Amino acid sequence: MTGENTVEPMKFYFAPMEGITGYTFRQVHHTCYPGMDRYFTPFISPNQHHAVNPKEHRDVTGDNNGTVPLVPQVLTNKPELFLWAARELKEKYGYEEVNLNLGCPSRTVVSKGKGSGFLAEPDKLERFFDEVFSAVEAAPSEGKPGEEGAGYPRISVKTRLGLEDVQEFPDILRIYNQYPLSELIIHPRVQKEFYKGIPHLEVFAGAVRECPHSLCYNGDIWCLEDYIRIKELFPTVKKVMLGRGLLANPELVLELKAYENCMAEGKEWNGYQISHAQLKKYHDLLLQGYLAQMNGDATNVLFKMKELWGFLGQQFPEERLVKKMVKANKLKEYEELAARLFESRGV
């Protein structure tokens, strides 16, 4: 039979990171390092006025995203606001999927009972999903959610394990299992851990056994070895979400895909060498893109680039120039130091 032995290919997602992975960043990364199956926007937070603010509009509009495969993320704990945002993103912007943020660990967000803060109220969370999916099912539709003619887009969720303790997760997972989510992305930490400590892989393993939804693993994939470990532990999971690892090495997705292709062809893996020439192109395009986006505001552009080097500097661990770059007060000084840094790598 045709396709009987076909192996489902791994999919790679770029995690949403507030203040970093906006439309300029996504466009540049997608241009320089094609291979991401999906990018996710930093969250949209609808309010009582049912408004997508100007910044959010710029981030989701097709004019600023081109061919980037994009899923918008929504942050709210009110079903009526989520439903409004989902419909708006489908009807006005053409998105066929929206992602509910139940993972953000920011104290500001959590204090409002949103993001991972919403996980502390499982009864309210269940009522939220009841209202959302009742409305989705009742809406006039000529197809399933996400299809042309449907009233609503598909609904996926990005979650943590709970607020304070992993023992919270069985009840949370029971709620997710009741509803037709298109996908469940799990970062196996609780809110209070932020990004510290070791992800609770044993809890994720329980979700693999018990969850009927398509699962995506997210958390601490910094390099090929991390990826291989997750793949070997969870061979049925065919989606991984990368975040800080891609900021540190934007070429990581190409390395992982090269590894997958090598394994599929039955060849021996001989390692992967990143291209500093491509890294310079990526850096330069980001700098130009931010200058255009911010109308030449050198102070804010410099802040953006310095923030990036907090991760990207790992590619140059021996370089004192990186420290000088993140201390630069003038854009021209920064550009000169960046040029010297790449010249030191023969670019």
- pLDDT at residue 166, as a whole number: 98
Asked if residue 229 has pLDDT above 80, the reply is: yes
Cβ-Cβ contacts under 8 Å for 27 (sequence gap 6 or more)? 64, 65, 66, 68, 289
Q: How confident is the model at residue 85 (pLDDT cuts 50, 70, 90)?
A: very high
- pLDDT at residue 194, as a whole number: 96
Q: b/e string for 248-268 if b means 16 or more Cβ within 10 A?
A: bbbbbbbbbbbbbeeeeeeee
Q: What is the pLDDT of residues 177-197, one digit of tens each?
A: 999 999 999 999 999 999 999
Asked if residue 3 has pLDDT above 50, the reply is: no
- Rounded to the nearest 5 degrees, what angle is found at the Cα of 56, between the Cα atoms of 54 and 61? 95
- pLDDT at residue 320, as a whole number: 87
| Stretch 77-88: mean pLDDT | 96
Q: How confident is the model at residue 256 (pLDDT cuts 50, 70, 90)?
A: very high
Q: How far is CA 310 from the centre of its chain?
A: 18
Asked if residue 218 has pLDDT above 60, the reply is: yes
| Stretch 285-314: mean pLDDT | 95
- pLDDT at residue 145, as a whole number: 75
Dihedral pair phi/psi, residue 242, rounded to 5°: -110, 145
| Stretch 153-178: mean pLDDT | 98
Domain boundaries, the chain: 11-264, 276-343
- Tokens 């009840």 -> residue: 171
Q: Architecture of 11-264 per CATH?
A: Alpha-Beta Barrel (3.20)
Cα(217)–Cα(204) distance, integer angstroms: 8
Token code pair at residue 282: 């990526």
Task: Work out whether the CA dihedral 75, 81, 87, 91 comes out positive or negative.
Answer: negative
| Stretch 234-257: mean pLDDT | 97
- pLDDT at residue 318, as a whole number: 67
Asked if residue 253 has pLDDT above 50, the reply is: yes
Range of lowest pLDDT (157-161, 250-254, 317-321):
317-321
296 or 50, which is more confident: 296
Q: How many helices (H) and strands (E) does the chain have?
A: 14, 9
Question: What percent of the chain stands above pLDDT 90?
Answer: 89
